[in-house]
A = this chain, B = another copy of it.
Amino acid sequence: MSNIHSTVGIIGLGLIGGSMAIDLKRRGFASKVLGVEVDPIAAEAARTIGLADEVVSYDDCIRRSDIIVVAVPVGTAVKMLPEILDMFLEEDTPSGAFARTGSRSDAEEGVSPSGKIVIDVCSTKEQICKAVKYHPARKQFVSTHPMAGTEYSGPWAAQPGLFDGRACIFADQEESAPWAVQKVLELYGCLNMRPIFMNSSSHDVHTAYVSHISHVTSFALALTVLDKEKDEKHIFDLASGGFSSTVRLAKSNADMWIPILTQNRENVLQVMDTYIDKMRQFRDAVDSYDEDALRRLIEDANRIKKIIR
């Protein structure tokens, strides 16, 4: 099975989809990249930048692609994935590219007539894996989370090399056909990503702690300082490098983050409650000039040094 003859369809030519489009084509994994973009301005930009070989319709993309990457906000992806798997079942002719022959039956191998694969790249995994759990074409779906990004969005934010050296989570990979997982490993191998296998609910706990909460704390920090800016003009003259790095994620896009926060509601609430409690401990220590408590809190927090370089 050669990579060079794969047509890759990417639904959503934003930061993630667009960046995948660039490197999968340049590095030879995809012979052709078909892009789908519902927003007309973004579609025009994707065409101008040349992110995909063709910007096509949704149906066209699914019909013509060997691998389909769903790179849309998770709320939309949850609805889209069962539809795509339905279309896999309806297709009559195998595309051939990934159809496998061998001694075991197609059913054992988990191969549908078309042999196509769909992957998602969303930041929450539990709801999306639930949505297709009992779908007859489930084995052709591989759920992934490439842990890379910036605070920018849209085709304008796409860049080569975005994924190099970063981790990519494969969620509930035992629900996918081994040949499909293998193919998707090759795809992420081309992007220089390091695969990590994890069940979807563990993924959502972990990302709540090491990704989702830091976005919320940045949003809250931006809101706090912007509120003050109303009274105190030019407060940002003093913004230092430390402030900029802490508030950077507050530039992140609402369309992406609303579904992440609501889909991962329980984990996010738990981490927010712990976080608010820590803030209150700091507040009370400052309020009561309790230097011992402040030292304990800060020195406990300093243990992060051993983990984050």
Contact = CB atoms under 8 A, between A and B. Distances in A.
Interface of A: 147-149, 151, 166-167, 169, 196, 202, 205-207, 209-211, 213-229, 232, 235-254, 257-258, 261-262, 265, 268-269, 271-276, 278-280, 282-283, 286-287, 289, 291, 294-295, 297-305, 307-308
Which applies to chain A's interface (DSSP): helix, strand, loop or mixed? helix
A216 B245 CA distance: 14
B214 A246 contact: yes
Contact of A248 (B207, B271, B291, B308): B308
B244 A303 contact: no
A261 B249 CA distance: 25
A308 B244 contact: yes
A224 B271 contact: yes
B224 A210 contact: no
- Report copies per complex: 2
Contacts of A149: 240-242
A286 B302 contact: no
Nearest to A300: B223
Contact of A274 (B218, B224, B280, B299): B224
Nearest to A147: B240
A224 B235 contact: no
A279 B250 CA distance: 13
A210 B226 contact: no
A160 to B, nearest CB: 17
Contacts of A269: 283, 286-287
B262 A307 contact: no
A207 B291 CA distance: 20
Contacts of A282: 216, 219-220, 272
Contacts of A272: 279, 282-283, 286
Given A249-B242, A258-B291, A273 B268 contact: no
Contacts of A225: 209-210, 213, 304
Contacts of A236: 210, 307-308
A286 B268 contact: yes
B238 A211 contact: yes
Given A218-B246, A282-B216, A209 B235 contact: yes
